[in-house]
Structure 1
Amino acid sequence: MSTQMLGEVPPGCRRRLLDHYGPSAEPWLRNAPHLLAEAAERWKLSLQSYHDAGHASAIALATAFDGTPLILKAWYEPLRYRHEIAALRVWAGGPTANVIETADDLSVAALELVGGQPGGAARLARERQMVAAAIQGLHSLGQRRPTPDLPTLTHFRQEVVTPRIRQRAQGLDLGPMGTLVEDACQGLSGLWEDPARTTVLHADLYRENVIFDRGGHPRLIDPHPMVGDAAFDWAFWAVYYDLERGLADRLATASRISRIPIPEITPWCRALAVDGFLYYTEINDPAKPKIAKVLSSLMASSAGGER
């Protein structure tokens, strides 16, 4: 079978990976079309076109010999490839994209094309409740199946998040938000994990990473997986799924579905919100006013005793 190689990766893909990884990603970006072509040849797939999405990979649409449409994904980081595939295998058959083929030597995988098109099918009603049920489903699978070799939330909290929050809080001009950020930083020492809730976390529950299949069921894609307390995922979803609306409703739904009390989720919400606010401040992101409002709301609930 002869496979036609796609051209250069799309400009959006190139920009996002260079922004994320820096100039060291340039040689890989030049090689990415060859990686995708080699994987397609190996698995007897026909490459169709690029899908310009994601911040850590190059993505193409492909068709199997029997006509089945697939996603072909090439990761810049081999470690991130291994982590994502390990998590997807734990969640196999659950509300995510199933793994069809893998090439460890290329850091490329063929994945199910959810909803028959890039971005999935149309979203239906009761989105909040259905997504919460999908998150709970992933967590249940992560607890029932053998734990894969993934980073831990404990390491991420102690060695990555807390140090960068403190460094940015000290180095940035925060203006009137300075006192609020200082108060949020004081709460970082109170973060704790319940070992009984340990599972495989998705840890990247932005709305763009939740797509729907043709039956209207949500699938959680593009994880940045870790092993740790399920409260982290619920907090991430509550804060970042929609920065403009629905935080209180998502928190209430998260607590109801997971049976984790809201006061045990909100400290993670505050940590994630202050981390995001400082990052958006550093890069002057247009979303800064939105995350500032979220952080202010969360800190106000803390001051009010989280009733």
Structure 2
Amino acid sequence: MDIPERLAWLRASSEGRSWLEGLPARINRCVGRWNLSLGGPFPTAYTSLTIPGRRLDGTEVVLKIPFPGRESEHEALALSHWDGDGAVKLLEDDRSLGAFLIERCVPGTPLSNTGQDVALDVLSSLLPRLWKPATDPPFRSLADEASWWASHLRENWERAGRPFDKRLVDAALDVLGSLPGSQGEPVLLHQDLHGDNVLAAQREPWLAIDPKPLVGEREFGLAPVVRSFELGVGRNEVRHRLDRLASELGLDRERARLWCVAQTVAWYSPWHIEIATWLLDM
């Protein structure tokens, strides 16, 4: 089986190379463990190997083998917690294999294909379903994650050659120091709920995939949607996503804005950083 080229970045570290080299044997073990017939892997996954397949009874599934990391650590647990309510169902989980099975979304069209306002209609209904009561442990708290981001944010910015304005670093650090201690009710958060992580399905019209779960206040849950350039690129589009979701969901717009600035800077990507700059003045 050919490994998708988008996983090539893992070859830069010894841990990544070891994980990639072990994939063929791990896939074979999963096939035997769950009696799978597999197709070719999805080409778009960046931090995991995801492969469509079928079980002996004909059930369509996806085998997911995430590269071990902080964000993927509790993914299967989050899917289990949601139990199919607004997200794909977890069908099997074997921690010794570092792999799990989920239901397959068919046809699997991403929500981003619908246009921004239709997508926001869906997300306005989906987000409250995902915001189920949860605790840390077993999940990691938003407060802990904010502290971890803050501990290396400036160093990472320096090491990357100062790729964006220092005022974004200062603003993010201010948020990460001030907001965690004054949060509202803790719920389970999907911190990567962008327009390509909600797919068209048959059991429900739309289901969330690929959670990177945290436990924290609801306002943080708007960050990935506001930042989702898949739903529309531009200052007005970003403002519209923030204003509409904060209003419809009864959330504190200012806290949602600040959390989006902080997470976008902490998760630095050249495609997103301009959005954080716009948000500073919204």
Same fold (TM over 0.5): yes
1:176 Cα deviation from its structure 2 partner = 8.4
1:45 Cα deviation from its structure 2 partner = 1.6
* Alpha-carbon contact 1:71-1:110 (below 8 Å) kept: yes
Listed as ranges, the gaps of 5+ residues in structure 1 are 1-6, 302-307
State the partner residue of 1:209. 197
1:205 Cα deviation from its structure 2 partner = 2.1
Is 1:52–2:43 an aligned residue pair? yes
Aligned residues: percent identity? 21
State the partner residue of 1:305. none
Structure 1 residues 177, 123: CA separation in 2 closer, same or farther (over 3 Å shift)?
Answer: closer
1:81 and 1:101 map into 2 onto residues whose CA distance is 16
State the partner residue of 2:128. 136
1:79 and 1:270 map into 2 onto residues whose CA distance is 21
1:295 Cα deviation from its structure 2 partner = 2.6
State the partner residue of 2:66. 75
Deviations 1:185-224 (A, max 9, x none): 4454332355542111111123222222247733221111
| SS of aligned partner of 2:210 | coil
Is 1:189–2:177 an aligned residue pair? yes
1:184 and 1:199 map into 2 onto residues whose CA distance is 22
Query: Which residue, out of 193, 208, 227, partners 1:220?
Result: 208
2:114 and 2:137 map into 1 onto residues whose CA distance is 33
Structure 1 residues 152, 248: CA separation in 2 closer, same or farther (over 3 Å shift)?
Answer: same
State the partner residue of 1:4. none
Is 1:11–2:2 an aligned residue pair? no
- Amino acid of the residue matched to residue 243 of structure 2? A
1:92 and 1:241 map into 2 onto residues whose CA distance is 29
1:183 and 1:149 map into 2 onto residues whose CA distance is 30
Deviations 1:32-78 (A, max 9, x none): 12212211222222112222232322111111122222101112328
Greater share of helix: 1
Listed as ranges, the gaps of 5+ residues in structure 2 are none
State the partner residue of 2:278. 297
Q: TM-score, normalised by structure 1?
A: 0.78
Structure 1 residues 191, 170: CA separation in 2 closer, same or farther (over 3 Å shift)?
Answer: farther
* Alpha-carbon contact 2:154-2:169 (below 8 Å) kept: no
Query: Which residue, out of 126, 129, 139, partners 1:150?
Result: 139
State the partner residue of 1:249. 240
- Amino acid of the residue matched to residue 157 of structure 1? A
1:121 and 1:241 map into 2 onto residues whose CA distance is 12
Q: Which has the larger radius of gyration?
A: 1
1:178 and 1:210 map into 2 onto residues whose CA distance is 33
- Amino acid of the residue matched to residue 127 of structure 1? A
Is 1:87–2:75 an aligned residue pair? no
State the partner residue of 1:34. 25
- Amino acid of the residue matched to residue 20 of structure 2? L
| SS of aligned partner of 1:207 | coil
Deviations 1:76-114 (A, max 9, x none): 328766511110011112111111112221011111001
Structure 1 residues 107, 265: CA separation in 2 closer, same or farther (over 3 Å shift)?
Answer: same
Query: Which residue, out of 249, 259, 264, partners 1:258?
Result: 249
1:248 and 1:101 map into 2 onto residues whose CA distance is 40
Is 1:268–2:250 an aligned residue pair? no
- Amino acid of the residue matched to residue 279 of structure 2? L
